[in-house]
Amino acid sequence: MSEEKKKKKKRSKANGEGTIWTEQRNSKPYYRGAYVIGYDDKGKPIRKLFSSSSKQVVIDKMAEYRTQKNAGLISSDDKITLQQWFHIWLFEFRINDLKDTSFERYEGIYRNYIKNSTLGKKKLTDIRTADIQAYYNSLIEQGRTSNVVKTLNKHLRTCLNDAIKQGYITRNYCSLVTIPKTESEECDKEKEITFFTPEEQQIFLSSLEKHRNKALFILALGSGLRLGELMALKWEDIDLDNNMINITRAISQISKVGKDGSRTWSILEHPPKTKSSIRTIPIPTKVKDALKTHRAQQNKEKLKHGELYQDNNLVFCTELGNYIDTRNLTRSYARALVKAGIPHKKFHSMRHTYATRLFESDVPIKTVQALMGHSDIATTMNIYTHVIPEKMTDEVQKLNALFS
């Protein structure tokens, strides 16, 4: 097409609705009209276009489209993609009513599973059950668990429900899909429960001499506190005279994401996970001794840094008194495992280890539940089932006396 054909000659409003402009094609006027019906993830307008050699035809088409749209007979747009709508929905509709932690989860879903995905690139109006199902199946084939896909489907269903309210689509197909399962799905929960054997625990503790986080790791193994609970501990929460710890708060390290994808990290202090998580628990004497040694070292750091030290009364903090970056802490923990020659285990495994040692010592399940701060005893039982086989073997061996 020549430059003359492409040239736009005039713009005008069609009775105040949308925009109409004139182009030249073969030295004759050609009319185009457009409505702005949304914005993409870069803030650029998305337009519904109309065209004809007759200006009145364009006006009539736009009027008909507007009438049908207002009556809810057609979607607001037939070009906007899922990833464009998800971005608009998240950063325009939900950014102010979601908690920071919830927004972070939704943004992670968008970034990891919607943006630039095969499903995300499809037009909203073209998406059907088969498209969603095929995408979920491909995620399972790539090694994602059914729980991941369930979470994705839950958030996507919420997003598309709002797309219906906004008139972009008329039906949500998320409720019609089947969440695939892997062959080892029944074993997933078992794989999640990992803990130190007594031998591994001793080796790990012995390898921590002069480690900056020695007291933190000892307390984790000797109290079962969650990572967020450990990071939120203040000295006022610890009664070293009576070997008791009060858990009244936790922290989360969250990232705030801007519309342009920029990310900033912040610390959010909040109540523990559940009401049952607010608890007072005893600690072993050796754990108390480790905390005393740790506090003495912390006091030396206060004197060393003087006014530079930010005294937040935190039990575990950086050398300048600030909150520890949990990402750095988990990396430090992983390196400590490597140094000790112990197979990798999640940080949360120290919490499971604490519960396991209690079960091995025949502590009643209800007591373990209270110490762990579990609101549901089923969570406690899930850990206990990993101890049962060994306990059964030990108990059955006691029958040997009957056969002597």
Q: Can you give the pLDDT at residue 117?
A: 96
The whole-number pLDDT of residue 261 equals 67
Question: Which candidate, 10, 33, 34, 36, places its Cα nearest to that of 23?
Answer: 10
Q: Assess contact for 345 and 195: CB atoms under 8 A.
A: yes
Q: What is the DSSP letter of 403?
A: G
Contact by Cβ (8 Å): 83, 51: no
Query: Which region, left, alpha or beta, applies to residue 47 given φ > 0 means left and ψ of -120 to 50 means alpha?
Result: beta
The confidence score (pLDDT) of residue 78 equals 64
- Amino acid 15: pLDDT: 44
Residues 6 or more apart from 290 whose CB is under 8 A from it?
214, 215, 218, 219
Closest CA to 17 of 44, 35, 38, 31: 35
Which of 191, 194, 217 has its CA nearest to residue 206? 217
Given a cut of 70, the residues of the chain with pLDDT beneath it are 1-17, 37-44, 46, 68-78, 182-192, 259-261, 390-398, 400-402, 404
With beta carbons less than 8 A apart as the criterion, state whether 66 and 17 touch: yes
* Helices first, then strands: H and E counts in the chain: 16, 9
pLDDT at 355: 94
Interatomic CA distance for residues 125 and 110, integer angstroms: 19
Percent of the chain with pLDDT over 90: 56
- What are the structure tokens assigned to 292, written together? 């005393």
Pairwise CA distance, residues 382 & 148, whole Å? 20
Contact assessment for residue 265 and residue 251, using Cβ atoms and an 8 Å cutoff: no
Burial grade of 15 (CB within 10 A; 0-12, 13-18, 19 or more): exposed
Q: Give residue 39's pLDDT.
A: 58
* pTM for this model (two decimals): 0.60
Could you write out the DSSP letters of every residue in 101-170? Answer: HHHHHHHHHIIIIITTSTTTTSBGGG--HHHHHHHHHHHHHTT--HHHHHHHHHHHHHHHHHHHHTTS-S
3-state secondary structure of 289: helix
**Which residue type occupies 244?**
M
Q: Which pLDDT value is given to residue 49? A: 81
Q: In 10 A of CB 86, how many CB atoms?
A: 25
Q: What is the distance between the alpha carbons of residues 251 and 270, in angstroms, rounded to a whole number?
A: 6
Sign of the CA dihedral with 150 first, then 155, 157, and 158 last: positive
pLDDT at position 60, please? 87
Reading the block at residue 170, the tokens are 């008329």
Q: How far apart are the first and last CA of the chain?
A: 101
Measured CA to CA, the distance from residue 127 to residue 362 in angstroms comes to 55
Side by side, the strands of the sheet bearing 17-25 are: 8-14, 17-25, 28-39, 45-52
CA distance 115 to 81: 10
